[in-house]
Structure 1
């Protein structure tokens, strides 16, 4: 049985393995091994009901947030799009999606500065014949347009369209149509967009290159020509 402080006197919050809580105006002490799991469960339920942030059009401007930093660079991987890819993870994201797999990269100050040395290394890695293309993720690439433009333009200069460019974004296709000029220009320069916030309640690990079922793999150039969303024609699930 939990110990009760009948006089409701102030005391330490923790007595040995007991935690002081207020129940109906009474102060009681309960076993922390029983209480803490209940608190964690309540926090988890609250987290499940929390949704990502939804910005107004042009509310978030890259030049106001980006610190031109990158969280990571992963060459020669097979998970960030079709084929062998070189993936740049930029730092900083404001969507704050519950269940985000890369929480550290939400911080715009996380990681290290984007440098010419790193850019040259990425181009060198991409020059390998077996590398299909570049992937931009993070963090939020469309809130780091300065970094992404530098690399996108360099890739096009060195390889033309022989290497494709994929990008993930918390923005949806429709939202990007109403966004700032730099975001719309960046969209026009890539080949594939995986759009939309990660939604923890729609999480599906069987999906191809996506974390939740609301996200889409969009063929950007075909969509621009058709003036509507055209889904990537190699989509399996």
Structure 2
């Protein structure tokens, strides 16, 4: 599976070699091209089209990442990273293999991704490789400039442990009505 994913190019809208605003520490940021959410007020509307941007390989991304030993990790942003999960899994695996962290922004809620991951190995794998998930669509009416790494108050910072706790609740059988 990793070889198949690493041979697929990614469609990106941009790359930031060094960012201090897209997660903790110095981060390498890949902005994916293509987003089904098209949130009103999105700060990256140029990423919405699945046709725009440019092609970039996993190998190129990991080579650029390796050029800066000060990087704390990679941030996968968008667009919608889960729309390109196979090659991003290979990037995330390469970064994690170097002892660095992976942050993934998504317009989906974790609950939606968890359900999708039951039938989609790539969604499941990218969730597993993600150290910090920032979930939920941007909602202009909930905009809050005081939030850490988020644009609106419905978005959550979810660690692996947070996601495990939510998944445990989702896995519980429905309770019969009283």
- Pick from 106, 109, 117 the counterpart of residue 48 of structure 2: 106
Q: Which runs of 4+ in 1 moved over 4 A?
A: none
Whether 1:206 and 2:146 are equivalent positions in the alignment is yes
Whether the aligned pair in 2 keeps the contact of 1:136 and 1:166 (CA below 8 Å) is: yes
Query: Between Structure 1 and Structure 2, how many residues are aligned?
Result: 158
Q: Deviations over 1:171-197 (max 9, x none)?
A: 111111111332122101110000000
Give the alignment of 1:7-18 within 5 angstroms: none
Look up the match of 1:149: 89
Look up the match of 2:173: none
Look up the match of 1:14: none
RMSD: 2.0
- Pick from 76, 81, 104 the counterpart of residue 167 of structure 1: 104
SS in 2 for 1:136: strand
SS in 1 for 2:107: coil
Look up the match of 2:162: 223
Structure 1 residues 117 and 191: CA distance shift in structure 2, 3 A: closer
Give the alignment of 1:108-147 within 5 angstroms: 108-116=50-58, 118-126=60-68, 128=69, 130-147=70-87
2: distance between equivalents of 1:116 and 1:171? 24
Q: CA deviation at 1:121?
A: 3.2
1: distance between equivalents of 2:156 and 2:164? 18
Normalised to the residue count of structure 2, the TM-score between the two structures is 0.81
Gaps of 5+ in 2: 1-7, 169-178
Whether 1:89 and 2:28 are equivalent positions in the alignment is no
Whether the aligned pair in 2 keeps the contact of 1:194 and 1:216 (CA below 8 Å) is: yes
SS in 2 for 1:177: helix
Q: Deviations over 1:180-224 (max 9, x none)?
A: 33212210111000000000000111111000000000002x135
2: distance between equivalents of 1:125 and 1:137? 20
1: distance between equivalents of 2:17 and 2:41? 25
SS in 1 for 2:72: strand
2: distance between equivalents of 1:186 and 1:109? 23
Structure 1 residues 202 and 67: CA distance shift in structure 2, 3 A: farther
Q: CA deviation at 1:147?
A: 2.3
Bigger radius of gyration among the two: 1
